[in-house]
């Protein structure tokens, strides 16, 4: 190998160099700003995690698997996975091999940013070696891999349905520029390397292409312009990158270590939240996932658009989108990057100032304390109070199993605080939590059984109840079955089990209700179940969605459940029960009701 | 004056021409549902907070339309959403309450 130019420089590298310096500078400033925005203890935690061997290794592994190989995307959709990993991993390998070439053949140039990228222009091949041929082969191989990815990307842009995506995002103007410049980079690289292949060598792609070009182009006049074009495409892409969705490439590399360090969203716009917003690749997977998107008008309220509006600083739309969401959490479950759409929205709601702040300090809890020393306490919650059949069924089952229990809020009770929490009113929710803690601890109960997943989520996450076990009835009854205290007779009705958002995605309880249901009746699965279950539309998470606006969502969720061909629908949430019952053509039952109707009378 | 052990309560007549409806109007803009309330009282019947602050969405709306103060009632609302679930008119009462809490001072 021999260098063609003693100066090691040509003006065509300038567009690339400007773009590169700009994007690196932008990211460096961004990292410093985000670090400054983090609360002190979070910052410390993050920096410590970077030098702790276990988390540092996890960071490298996760960045490699998620940013380059796109493992999560492969699991979801092979074609999309191949498209993304071919571009990301191929590009990474080309950069890596470029550096390797410079390191082997002209190590004195390694400090030049542009040398590994434009190696084939600056260096000529004067003897062919096995090592050199292998490097050239790999370069061409990865270029081919990227080009396949680019072709797939072009097809996807025209026909997204082929890739299993019904709807995708509409790119903004700058996104389009970023997209076209990204598409242009690799074909231009192929052209540029082909034009120089007879000087600097090449492999199975570039050498034949060079031969073809030389059949009708008698001179090398096309060489420099194509290298210019290649450099300009790179420069344009990197200059617009911070203002397009391609910002997710550097942002995700920041998000993964931050998440591994255990950071959480503390402020709707700053620190961790900012990194999450920038990490959104705008793929639009959340659009098809969102239960609101059954109405076309609601598509712009999906998480991908929330992120876009936050980046644009469109306050009016940010507020609208944040308040409308049902907080079902499905966008988060399907998100490839792990953007926490619901948390971002709740943090946004928490930023709001109110003229009237609820104050529960005057509530005297002493009149609400039940006598339950050493017993089981049953807390029905507001929603179960409106669906009394569930409360009755839970009590009847406990009686049949011989459980010594007290119904805590049979007459009167306080709300669990979760609705206030989702409305962003953290201080008020906390006050309510404290009040309920007082009542429960004063009752002397050992176990607290809940029949509402909304309550269960806040009880298991935010309540501090030393010595009291908090349990959802699905888990509680399963234990009673295991102890032989409850037995069921299987009915011949087939139920499809609907995972309530708060119980499934919210608390990770998927299997217990299914096992119980399977013991008392036939059970089938809906096409979208478990993590991908569709919200019933009744969620308290949404602040602004009115009664009539929810109807279509409920009906769409029901249609998916009907696809399972079940006779009836089972769920384990009073709110789902009430919402589905309104529109369902098939019977809807709570798990407790089904179980209660099918108990076998034991010797007891 | 002879002390009978009780007195007449103050007249509660409302001069609708003089009532300040600015808060009501502002609420109407953000939650138009407030207009369709028929005062059935289902919300009051289910309310968790009524025991503590006399909360009743029906009364809140009524007081609002008459320019009266209802800050006290709102102070114990737990946003549990029972009222919106039972409302036969499908009013988004939670949003109504939240909006009111937000608009209160600026509307008065």
**Closest in A419, A538, A546 to B90, CB measured:** A546
What tens digit of pLDDT does each residue of A479-535 get? 999 999 999 999 999 999 999 999 999 999 999 999 999 999 999 999 988 999 999
CA distance to partner chain A, nearest, from residue B37 (Å): 14
Mutate to test the interface with A, among B79, B82, B98, B105 (most CBs of A within 10 A): B79
Residue-range domain boundaries for chain B: 19-105
- By C-alpha distance, the chain B residue nearest A538 is B85
What tens digit of pLDDT does each residue of A101-128 get? 999 998 888 888 899 999 999 998 888 8
Chain B contact present for A6, CB below 8 A = no
Give the pLDDT confidence score for residue B4 in this predicted structure. Answer: 85
If you average pLDDT over residues B84-102, what whole number do you get? 93
Those residues whose C-beta lies under 8 Å from the C-beta of residue A299, and which sit 6 or more positions away, are A167, A287, A290, A293, A305
CA distance to partner chain A, nearest, from residue B5 (Å): 31
CA distance to partner chain B, nearest, from residue A357 (Å): 7
- Is residue A109 within 8 Å of A94, Cβ to Cβ? no
Interchain CB distance below 8 Å, A355 and B102? yes
Residue given tokens 């312009």 in the structure block: A225
Task: Please list every residue in chain B whose beta carbon sits closer than 8 Å to the beta carbon of residue A384.
Answer: none
What tens digit of pLDDT does each residue of A49-71 get? 999 999 999 999 999 999 999 99
Task: Please list every residue in chain B whose beta carbon sits closer than 8 Å to the beta carbon of residue A357.
Answer: 101
Render A155-187 in DSSP notation, one character per residue: HHHH-GGGGT-S--PPP-HHHHHHHHHHHHHHH
Give the pLDDT confidence score for residue B97 in this predicted structure. Answer: 94
Give the pLDDT confidence score for residue A400 in this predicted structure. Answer: 93
- pLDDT above 70 covers a percentage of chain A that reads 100
pLDDT band at A192 (very low <50, low <70, confident <90, very high): very high
For residue B21, the 8-state DSSP code is -
If you average pLDDT over residues B16-26, what whole number do you get? 89
Q: Is B76 exposed, middle or buried (0-12, 13-18, 19+ CB in 10 A)?
A: buried
**Closest in A419, A432, A546 to B92, CB measured:** A546
Mutate to test the interface with B, among A320, A348, A365, A382 (most CBs of B within 10 A): A382
Chain A contact present for B90, CB below 8 A = yes
CB interface of B with A, residues 45-64, below 8 Å? 46, 48, 51-52
Task: Please list every residue in chain B whose beta carbon sits closer than 8 Å to the beta carbon of residue A420.
Answer: 78-79
pLDDT band at B107 (very low <50, low <70, confident <90, very high): very low
Chain B contact present for A548, CB below 8 A = yes
The b/e string for A387-403 (b: 16+ C-beta within 10 A; e otherwise) is: beebbebbbbbbebbeb
- By C-alpha distance, the chain A residue nearest B43 is A386
Give the pLDDT confidence score for residue B108 in this predicted structure. Answer: 45
Give the pLDDT confidence score for residue A171 in this predicted structure. Answer: 87
pLDDT exceeds 60 at position A439: yes
Q: Considering all CA atoms of chain B, what is the largest pairwise distance in Å, rounded to the nearest integer?
A: 52
Give the pLDDT confidence score for residue A259 in this predicted structure. Answer: 95
Task: Please list every residue in chain A whose beta carbon sits closer than 8 Å to the beta carbon of residue B51.
Answer: 412
Give the pLDDT confidence score for residue A253 in this predicted structure. Answer: 94
Sheet strands (E) in A114-237: 123-124
Interchain CB distance below 8 Å, B80 and A358? no
Interchain CB distance below 8 Å, A360 and B71? no
Task: Give the CA dihedral A124, A126, A129, A132, nearest 10 degrees.
Answer: 0
pLDDT exceeds 50 at position A100: yes
CA distance to partner chain B, nearest, from residue A415 (Å): 6
pLDDT exceeds 80 at position B106: no
- By C-alpha distance, the chain B residue nearest A575 is B85
**Nearest residue to A70 via CA among A82, A55, A56:** A82
How many Cβ pairs closer than 8 A exist between chain A and B?
93
CA distance to partner chain A, nearest, from residue B32 (Å): 10
Chain B contact present for A376, CB below 8 A = no
Give the pLDDT confidence score for residue A435 in this predicted structure. Answer: 94
**Nearest residue to A499 via CA among A346, A386, A345, A333:** A333
Interchain CB distance below 8 Å, A356 and B33? no
Those residues whose C-beta lies under 8 Å from the C-beta of residue A105, and which sit 6 or more positions away, are A1, A123
pLDDT exceeds 70 at position A591: yes
Chain A contact present for B26, CB below 8 A = no
Phi and psi at residue A602, in whole multiples of 5°? -90, 180
pLDDT band at A261 (very low <50, low <70, confident <90, very high): very high
**Closest in B48, B71, B92 to A382, CB measured:** B48
- By C-alpha distance, the chain B residue nearest A420 is B79
Those residues whose C-beta lies under 8 Å from the C-beta of residue A324, and which sit 6 or more positions away, are A292, A298, A301, A542, A543, A544, A545
Chain B contact present for A367, CB below 8 A = no
What tens digit of pLDDT does each residue of B37-85 get? 999 999 999 998 988 888 999 999 999 999 888 888 998 899 999 999 9
Mutate to test the interface with A, among B45, B81, B86, B105 (most CBs of A within 10 A): B81
Interchain CB distance below 8 Å, A354 and B102? yes
Give the pLDDT confidence score for residue A522 in this predicted structure. Answer: 94
Interchain CB distance below 8 Å, B52 and A412? no
- By C-alpha distance, the chain B residue nearest A349 is B98
Polymer length in residues for chain B? 108
HEC states along A500-511?
CCCCCCCCCCCH
**pLDDT averaged over chain A?**
93
CA distance to partner chain A, nearest, from residue B1 (Å): 39
Interchain CB distance below 8 Å, A412 and B51? yes
Task: Please list every residue in chain B whose beta carbon sits closer than 8 Å to the beta carbon of residue A419.
Answer: 78-81, 94
Mutate to test the interface with B, among A320, A349, A356 (most CBs of B within 10 A): A356
SS3 content of chain A, % helix, strand, coil (to 5): 60, 5, 30
**Closest in A355, A544, A548 to B104, CB measured:** A355
pLDDT exceeds 50 at position A73: yes
**Closest in A415, A540, A543 to B48, CB measured:** A415
Give the pLDDT confidence score for residue A237 in this predicted structure. Answer: 96
Cα distances from A163 to residues A145, A194, A336, in angstroms, run 18, 32, 15
- By C-alpha distance, the chain B residue nearest A356 is B101
Give the pLDDT confidence score for residue A594 in this predicted structure. Answer: 96
pLDDT band at A219 (very low <50, low <70, confident <90, very high): confident
Give the separation between CA A156 and CA B78, rounded to whole angstroms: 48
Task: Please list every residue in chain A whose beta carbon sits closer than 8 Å to the beta carbon of residue B95.
Answer: 323, 543-544, 546
pLDDT band at A181 (very low <50, low <70, confident <90, very high): very high
Give the pLDDT confidence score for residue A602 in this predicted structure. Answer: 63
If you average pLDDT over residues A434-439, what whole number do you get? 94
Task: Please list every residue in chain A whose beta carbon sits closer than 8 Å to the beta carbon of residue B106.
Answer: 355
If you average pLDDT over residues A408-414, what whole number do you get? 89
Per-residue tokens: B78: 């737990």
Cα distances from A113 to residues A18, A23, A92, A125, B7, in angstroms, run 11, 13, 15, 21, 92
Chain B contact present for A434, CB below 8 A = no
Chain B contact present for A545, CB below 8 A = yes
């Amino acid at each position: 190998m021999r260098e063609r130019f003693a100066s090691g420089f040509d003006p065509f590298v300038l567009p690339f160099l400007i773009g590169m310096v700009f994007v690196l500078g932008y990211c460096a400033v961004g990292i410093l700003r985000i670090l400054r925005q983090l609360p002190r203890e979070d910052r410390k935690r993050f920096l410590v995690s970077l030098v702790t061997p276990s988390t540092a290794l996890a960071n490298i592994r996760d960045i490699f698997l998620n940013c380059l190989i796109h493992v999560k995307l492969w699991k979801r959709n092979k074609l999309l996975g191949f498209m993304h990993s071919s571009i990301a991993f191929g590009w990474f390998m080309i950069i890596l091999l470029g550096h390797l070439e410079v390191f082997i053949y002209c190590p004195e140039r390694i400090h030049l940013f542009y040398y590994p990228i434009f190696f084939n222009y600056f260096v000529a091949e004067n003897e062919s070696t096995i090592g050199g041929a292998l490097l050239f082969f790999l370069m061409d191989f990865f270029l081919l891999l990227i080009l396949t990815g680019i072709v797939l990307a072009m097809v996807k842009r025209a026909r997204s349905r082929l890739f299993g995506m019904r709807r995708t995002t509409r790119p903004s103007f700058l996104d389009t520029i970023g997209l076209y410049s990204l598409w242009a980079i690799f074909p231009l690289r192929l052209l540029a390397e082909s034009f120089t292949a007879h000087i600097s060598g090449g492999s199975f792609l570039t050498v034949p292409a060079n031969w073809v070009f030389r059949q009708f182009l008698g001179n090398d006049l096309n060489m420099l312009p194509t290298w210019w074009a290649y450099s300009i495409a790179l420069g344009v892409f990197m200059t617009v990158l911070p203002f397009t969705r391609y910002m997710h490439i550097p942002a995700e590399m920041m998000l993964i270590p931050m998440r591994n360090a255990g950071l959480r969203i503390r402020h709707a716009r700053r620190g961790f939240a900012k990194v999450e917003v920038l990490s959104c690749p705008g793929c639009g997977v959340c659009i098809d996932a969102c239960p609101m998107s059954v109405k076309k008008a609601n598509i712009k309220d999906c998480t991908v658009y929330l992120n876009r509006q936050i980046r644009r600083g469109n306050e009016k739309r940010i507020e609208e989108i944040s308040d409308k969401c049902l907080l079902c959490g499905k966008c988060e479950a399907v998100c490839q990057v792990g953007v926490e759409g619901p948390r971002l929205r709740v943090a946004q709601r928490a930023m709001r100032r109110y003229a009237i702040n609820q104050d529960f300090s005057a509530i005297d809890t002493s009149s609400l304390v039940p006598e339950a020393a050493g017993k089981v306490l049953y807390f029905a919650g507001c929603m179960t109070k409106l669906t009394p059949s569930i409360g009755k069924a839970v009590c009847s089952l406990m009686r049949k199993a011989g459980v010594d229990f007290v119904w805590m809020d049979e007459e009167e009770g306080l709300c669990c605080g979760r609705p206030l929490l989702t409305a962003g009113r953290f201080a008020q929710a906390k006050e309510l939590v404290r009040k309920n803690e007082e009542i429960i601890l004063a009752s002397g109960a050992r176990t607290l059984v809940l029949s509402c997943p909304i309550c269960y989520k806040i009880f298991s996450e935010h309540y501090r109840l030393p010595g009291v076990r908090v349990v959802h009835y699905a888990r509680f009854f399963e234990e009673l079955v295991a102890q032989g205290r409850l037995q069921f007779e299987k009915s011949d009705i087939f139920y499809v089990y609907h995972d309530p958002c708060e119980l499934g995605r919210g608390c990770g309880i998927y299997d217990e209700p299914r096992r119980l249901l399977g013991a008392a009746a036939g059970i089938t699965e809906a096409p979208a179940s478990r993590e991908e279950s569709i919200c019933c539309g009744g969620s308290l998470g949404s602040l602004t969605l009115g009664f009539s606006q929810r109807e279509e969502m409920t009906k769409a969720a029901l249609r998916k459940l009907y696809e399972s061909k079940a006779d009836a629908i089972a769920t384990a949430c009073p709110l789902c029960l009430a919402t589905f019952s309104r529109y369902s053509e098939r019977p809807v039952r709570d798990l407790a009701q089904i179980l209660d109707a099918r108990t076998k009378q034991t010797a007891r | 004056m002879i002390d009978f052990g009780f007195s007449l309560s103050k007249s509660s007549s409302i001069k609708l021409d003089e009532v300040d409806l600015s808060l009501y109007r502002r609420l109407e803009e953000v939650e138009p549902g407030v207009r369709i309330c028929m005062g059935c009282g289902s919300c009051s019947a289910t309310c968790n907070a009524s025991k503590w602050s006399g909360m009743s969405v029906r009364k809140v709306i009524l007081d609002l339309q008459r320019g009266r103060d209802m800050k006290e009632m709102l102070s114990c609302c737990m946003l549990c959403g029972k009222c919106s679930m039972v409302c036969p008119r499908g009013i988004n009462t939670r949003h109504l309450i939240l909006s009111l809490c937000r608009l209160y001072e600026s509307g008065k």
